[in-house]
Amino acid sequence: MLRQEGRIDMQAEAKQTVSKAIFQRMGSLVGLVVIFVALSLISSDFLTVSNMFNVLRQISINALIAFGMTFVILTGGIDLSVGSIFALSSALAAGMMASGTDPFVAIMVGLAAGAVMGAANGILIAKGKVAPFIATLATMTVFRGLTLVYTEGKPITGLPDSFALFGKGFFLDIPMPIIWMLIAFAILYVILKHSTFGRHVYALGSNEEATKLSGINTSRVKIFVYSISGLLAALSGIILTSRLNSAQATAGMSYELDAIAAVVLGGTSLSGGKGWIVGTLIGAMIIGVLDNGLNLLNVSSFYQQVVKGGVILIAVLLDRSKSK
Amino acid sequence: MNKLMKMAMASSLAALMLVGCSTQSNLENKAPEQGAANNASDKVTIGLSISTQNNPFFVTLKDGAEKAAKDAGAELIVVDAQDDTAKQISGVEDLIQKKVDVILINPTDSAAIATAVEAANKANIPVITVDRAAEGGQVVSHIASDNVKGGKMAGDYILETLGGKGNLVELEGIAGTSAARDRGKGFHEAVDGKDGVKVVATQPADFDRAKGMTVMENILQGNQDIQAVFAHNDEMALGALQAIEAAGKQIMVVGFDATDDAVKAVNEGKMAATVAQKPAAIGETAVQTALKVKKGEKVESFIPVDLELVTKK
């Protein structure tokens, strides 16, 4: 009897969390639609094919980082080092290309470097038992410092023309950054939704102790998750390097905040276990569309930050009130 | 473990305090006797504490100061801080010991240098800051580039090249910084209220190359008819240039700072111009002002130094 009651409770709870999750999902989508419709009405330049491509291309940089951040936050962690990984891996790739390495090799080395830096975060957190906030705060500083050492604080230029295709090129008239974002999104969506690893990520975030007791190697899951975050930050960095035709020592500063904002706007819970990657894409779009709209409307620099912060607050409040 | 850490921390703290004490007392003990020796000679002695000799900008500044001192028959003592605040403070203390007549300080850090300025104030030696200001102590004058005039030069050059009319875009630096404010102010002095000239967009891109590109992309979505862009620094100008090239447009771009990348872009004909500071003139002005102060003349609290426009050679 007791047992049955417990089961019913659990089922009811599960149902509740599902409906909660759906509401949360609606919240961010509603926010995006409201901003979208408003901007279309106010500015005649907003809803055009060329501007939509433009916005998506700009969003791709933040979205890629935010995808990785979604995995990290789902496990109940946080990764503050993404901006520094972004800078260091793109500086490494650019430095190699500037000294004559084939762009393909340089890109691969850059991506691998990102994954290795991410794995280092994961090892510190999983094996060293350092809190994610502290571990990645420390590596954020270390990686940024290494970037300054490597670049001597100067931009790296003189990159080969073939490298430009990576971030500046088009595939079927679609800008390459958008293509990379969509490919990454598709792969990560499948991993999160349909793989054992994806289920482990959710399980780890909901209840780490129980996950460990059920025989899952939680350390390995953590190291993997931070590696994914590092890899995506590196990919994002190399795309931007290609678009700018140069690597900057100061690139990616405070990008972690935009990425975290996108994840949270998308309805993923900072305490882990709950969320989805589609929401992150929506969150990144809200931030990107807002930036674009403020530029199009020529809003004064003093008001821009107030508007941006305000919209984020409203979106999150909408989420919270709906999820009650 | 814990105890050990605590002990280590406590002892290092104690050591630090001891070091602090010893420099202080040395300074006060030595000051009077040295002063008497130096007062005998008539030659004006100027001390210059330079932030670093590792950056061509400051080397040129020092050369300008040395030349001006030589021309005036004054002696210039240069101490190099090697970008280290602690070293700079002891360097200034050394100059105080030497009883120089005026101290020129080019701070490595505006906040940290206040200690050194106060030490000079205590010894009654006038202080002039160069390039970077000090956030504490009494400073007779501050000498630095005239950012307002630089912005105006950029605006004037754009109007001259465009034949006095066109649609302009301004990319602003970080909101609230003095460089962004002054450069923007000068630019608007040059272009505002002119017939046929319209600033169609004024948007912040935070002195950042990536943001310069993104913001320019967005502006181009809304405005097809743009003739020139003025960016508050070269990083944003180079970012905007990428956006303009990707859009296949021909738009005149003027930046600020004359960084290596930007000067290269100017010489390749990609950027129209960049505004450069004149470090030698800053050094010269600093020494000339120091001489005036020594003679007891009144000097302005801020002395702006002109900039120059770098265009294709």
Q: What is the pLDDT of residues B6-65, one digit of tens each?
A: 666 666 555 555 444 444 444 444 444 443 344 445 788 999 999 887 777 888 889 999
| CATH classification of the domain holding A290 | 1.10.3470
Q: In whole angstroms, what is the distance from residue B218 CA to residue B216 CA?
A: 5
Check: CB of residue A202 under 8 Å from CB of residue A74: yes
Cβ separation B203–A295 shorter than 8 A: yes
Chain B residue with minimum CA distance to A251: B210
Cβ separation B222–A295 shorter than 8 A: yes
User: What tokens were used for A168?
Assistant: 């500046």
Chain B positions in Cβ-Cβ contact with residue A247 (cut-off 8 Å)? none
Q: What is the pLDDT of residues B131-189, one digit of tens each?
A: 888 888 889 999 988 889 999 999 999 999 998 889 999 999 888 777 888 899 999 99
Question: Listing from the earlier edge strand, what are the strands of the sheet with B228-231?
Answer: B197-204, B166-172, B228-231, B252-256, B273-277, B307-311
Chain A positions in Cβ-Cβ contact with residue B260 (cut-off 8 Å)? 154
Rounded to the nearest angstrom, the minimum Cα separation between A291 and chain B is: 8
Q: Is A9 within the bounds of a domain?
A: no
Rounded to the nearest angstrom, the minimum Cα separation between B127 and chain A is: 31
Tell me: pLDDT of A130 over 60: yes
Q: Is A90 within the bounds of a domain?
A: yes
pLDDT (mean) for A216-240? 94
Chain A positions in Cβ-Cβ contact with residue B235 (cut-off 8 Å)? 248
Cβ separation A300–B202 shorter than 8 A: yes
Residue A29's pLDDT is 82
HEC-encoded secondary structure of B84-133: CHHHHHHHHHHHHHCCCCEEEECCCCCCCCHHHHHHHHHCCCCEEEECCC
pLDDT (mean) for B114-135? 89
Rounded to the nearest angstrom, the minimum Cα separation between B233 and chain A is: 14
Cβ separation A54–B175 shorter than 8 A: no
Cβ separation B201–A155 shorter than 8 A: no
Substitution target in B83, B208, B217 with the highest count of A β-carbons within 10 Å is: B217
Q: Which of A201, A210, A173, A197 is nearest to A274 (CA)?
A: A201
Q: Is A186 within the bounds of a domain?
A: yes
pTM of this structure: 0.73
Q: Is A27 within the bounds of a domain?
A: no
Q: Is A21 within the bounds of a domain?
A: no
CA separation, residue A151 to residues A154, A167, B253 (Å) = 6, 21, 26
Q: Is A16 within the bounds of a domain?
A: no
pLDDT band at A38 (very low <50, low <70, confident <90, very high): confident
pLDDT band at A21 (very low <50, low <70, confident <90, very high): low
Q: What is the pLDDT of residues A133-150, one digit of tens each?
A: 999 999 999 999 899 889
Nearest to B222 among A45, A240, A246 (CB): A45
Dihedral sign (CA A76, A82, A84, A85)? positive
Tokens 């010269």 locate to: B284
Question: Average model confidence (pLDDT) for chain A?
Answer: 85
Q: How many angstroms from the chain centroid is the CA of residue A104?
A: 24
Check: CB of residue A323 under 8 Å from CB of residue A23: yes
pLDDT (mean) for B71-89? 86
Give me the domain span that covers residue A73.
35-323
Q: In whole angstroms, what is the distance from residue B57 CA to residue B52 CA?
A: 9
User: What tokens were used for A145?
Assistant: 């410092």
pLDDT (mean) for A15-23? 56
Cβ separation B221–A246 shorter than 8 A: no
Q: Is A201 within the bounds of a domain?
A: yes
DSSP A161: G
Chain B positions in Cβ-Cβ contact with residue A246 (cut-off 8 Å)? 209, 238, 261
Helix (H) or strand (E) holding A240: helix A218-244
User: What tokens were used for A120?
Assistant: 């280092």
Amino acid at B213: M
Residue A314's pLDDT is 76
Tell me: pLDDT of A315 over 80: no
CA separation, residue B85 to residues A151, B36, B76, B242 (Å) = 24, 29, 21, 38
Number of domains in chain A: 1
Q: In whole angstroms, what is the distance from residue A253 CA to residue A83 CA?
A: 5
User: What tokens were used for B107?
Assistant: 């701070």
CA separation, residue A208 to residues A78, A215, A243, A255, A270 (Å) = 15, 11, 41, 28, 15
Q: Is A249 within the bounds of a domain?
A: yes
Chain A positions in Cβ-Cβ contact with residue B218 (cut-off 8 Å)? 54, 58, 291-292, 295-296
Q: What structural domains and CATH numbers belong to chain B?
A: 22-139+279-305 (3.40.50.2300), 147-277 (3.40.50.2300)
